[in-house]
Homo-oligomer: A and B are copies of this chain.
Amino acid sequence: MFKVPENETHLTALAESLPTSVPFIGPEAQERSTGIPFKARLGANESVFGPSPKAVRAMRMAVKDAWMYGDPENYDLRIALAKHHIVDPSEIVVGAGIDGLLDSLVRLTVTNGTPVVTSLGAYPTFNYHVTGCGGITHAVKYTADFEDPKLLIAKAREVGAKLIYISNPNNPMGTWHSGATIQQMIESIPRNCLLVLDEAYIELAPNGTASKMDTHDARVIRLRTFSKGYGMAGARVGYAIGHKALISGFNRVRNHFGVSLISQAGALEALADQDWLLDVHDKVESARQRLYQIAEDNKLKAISSATNFVAIDCGQDGNFTNKVLNALIKMGIFVRMPLVEPQDRCVRISCGTPKNMALVAKALPKALASASGQVLL
């Protein structure tokens, strides 16, 4: 019997060229390898405070309807989002998280050789999708732990970029620009270039961090999510807001039936419960203060954060931070760290419950001592 040889994978030349590494390893894989479940899950900036009880109830109720496909137009959710943001429903597209939306957006705008600009060490899933479509990623450095609008714009001009990616507030450092600064960035964007403004953490940021939403401005697309402040990471719901000409383009490539019916029902109720979101904001602020204090107690500097995580500067290089990180993981605390210099001097810890934070307070001095070679864990 004829069989195609084992090395015949049918892949395109582009697909063959793609790295086999993935943007993130899940904590479950680490748990499987150690055989020990984490005591605190503080590495993926999930919201330990969970979704609104109303969203929880809506999802439980919706389970009985899971035999039906979800509405491919995500109509009810888009209408509610449009009302919430005072835009037209045609200016909103709902997708399976920001990751799913980035996938579609990059498919729509990037092809072989298309230059795009991002920051070194910013969200790797953006780069993943760009590379997956054959685009060329140019990365500028952070300036003092901030993504730098001026450097991004200058690089975009230099390389003729089609897209500029920026997150505000920033991941993985937690820093943020004012909405006014972002608006200035939008005003200076080169012609034929689109600003991809990832606002995953915006609900947790101080007032004034969001720039004024003008959906007549085709130079920017905003990405939002129910994964962070709304506490529904596992449900996979995000949305993009932008000019209707671009937003309608998503219908040409997106997976129309891709958002779970249960998740749509949950997101609708989560959005309606803004009181819960405010409460989460307060809890996150308390946890941020606690993390700042923990850093200080250990004579370390914490980076001020507008997100549900804090990057703590371990005061040495990435090699040292990596030891701190591994020690924390060994003690049952799932955390992550930035991947590039000089941000990799920091360990990134998500905001958790008081109990979670107490575990961190107890473990961090040991992890630092272990990384310094003073004690063996």
Enumerate chain A interface residues (CB-CB to B < 8 A). Answer: 1-15, 18-20, 22-26, 28-29, 32, 41, 44, 46-51, 56, 59-60, 62-73, 75, 96-97, 99-100, 103, 107-111, 114, 132, 162-163, 187, 191-192, 194, 216-219, 227, 231-236, 243, 245-246, 248-249, 251-253, 255-263, 266
Closest 5 CB pairs of A and B: A234-B261, A18-B252, A4-B218, A66-B234, A28-B71
| Shortest Cβ gap from A12 to chain B (Å) | 5
Q: Find out whether the CB atom of A245 lies under 8 angstroms from the CB atom of B29.
A: no
| Shortest Cβ gap from A212 to chain B (Å) | 12
Chain B residues with Cβ under 8 A from A28's Cβ? 71, 73, 75
| Shortest Cβ gap from A16 to chain B (Å) | 8
CB nearest neighbor in B for A15:
B108
| Shortest Cβ gap from A66 to chain B (Å) | 4
CA distance A32 to B56 in the complex (A): 26
Q: Is the interface of A mostly helix, strand, loop or mixed?
A: loop
Q: Find out whether the CB atom of A234 lies under 8 angstroms from the CB atom of B73.
A: no
* Known A100-B255, A249-B11, A251-B20: A69·B26 in contact at CB below 8 Å: yes
CA distance A97 to B256 in the complex (A): 11
| Shortest Cβ gap from A320 to chain B (Å) | 28
Q: List 25 A-B contacts (CB under 8 A).
A: A1-B187, A3-B216, A3-B217, A7-B245, A10-B218, A13-B111, A18-B252, A19-B252, A22-B251, A24-B256, A26-B257, A29-B73, A32-B75, A44-B69, A47-B67, A56-B66, A59-B63, A59-B262, A63-B262, A66-B231, A67-B233, A99-B257, A107-B132, A235-B260, A262-B263
CA distance A246 to B11 in the complex (A): 8
* Known A10-B108, A96-B258, A132-B252: A232·B26 in contact at CB below 8 Å: no
Chain B residues with Cβ under 8 A from A18's Cβ? 252-253
CB nearest neighbor in B for A132:
B253
B60, B67, B219: which contacts A232 (Cβ < 8 A)? B67
CA distance A96 to B72 in the complex (A): 14
With a 10 A CB-CB cut-off, give which of A10, A110, A259 has the most chain B CB atoms.
A10
| Shortest Cβ gap from A51 to chain B (Å) | 6
Chain B residues with Cβ under 8 A from A163's Cβ? 10
Q: Find out whether the CB atom of B65 lies under 8 angstroms from the CB atom of A12.
A: no
Chain B residues with Cβ under 8 A from A2's Cβ? 187, 191
B4, B69, B111, B256: which contacts A219 (Cβ < 8 A)? B4
Chain B residues with Cβ under 8 A from A23's Cβ? 256
